Amino acid sequence: MKLKKQIVQWHDSYSVGIHLVDEQHKELINLTNKLYEASIQGWDKSKDAFMNTVHAAVDYAGYHFSTEEKIMERINYPDYLSHKKEHSDFVKEVLRQVQDFQAGQKVSANDFVLFLKNWVLTHIAVCDKKMGLYLIKLKREGALHNITMQIKQETPTGAEGVRLIIK
């Protein structure tokens, strides 16, 4: 029996209407799938690959959250503090689970992957969709006409600067 290598696939229904954010969501899903692939190989074989991918996912999530938060600040998003708290709570939970692993506590790689998958998809479907709808509303009202926003930050791969053009 061949095991499925992906636990989740991107679907256009996940789109929040902000190309940059959608591309970053696709990468978060890709990292979730890499964690899943490592987890199904057996813990002894995949422990190092799994933990390396966890660290990469945490780094990338921080980068992604920073992007979203800069967008929300720029458009004066009314749920900014609540959305930012969701990001913070997620990072705290992931770090708690990593610390449990490093302290020698039994950690289920599959449970962690399911937690990540469910959190990412729920966050996209609820919080990020809400942000996207707010941005679309502002665009419709003409409040963001021809705004170009330069987000200067270093990506986990070292590249700098991301442009978000709102037309």
Q: What is the pLDDT of residues 80-92, one digit of tens each?
A: 999 999 999 999 9
Q: Distance between CA atoms of 39 and 119, rounded to whole angstroms?
A: 18
Tokens of 46: 């995949």
Contact between 33 and 10 under an 8 Å Cβ cutoff? The reply is no
Q: How long is the chain?
A: 167
Q: Does domain 16-142 have CATH number 1.20.1560.10?
A: no
Q: Which of 21-35, 79-93, 99-113 has the lowest mean pLDDT?
A: 99-113
Residue with tokens 């998809």: 121
Domain parsing of the chain, residue ranges? 16-142
Write out pLDDT tens, residues 52-64: 888 888 899 999 9
Tokens of 126: 């609820």
Give the Cβ contact number of residue 114 at 10 Å: 15
pTM of the model: 0.82
Q: Distance between CA atoms of 103 and 3, rounded to whole angstroms?
A: 31
Section 99-105 average pLDDT: 78
Distance of CA 125 to the CA centre of its chain: 12
What is the model's pLDDT at position 167? 43
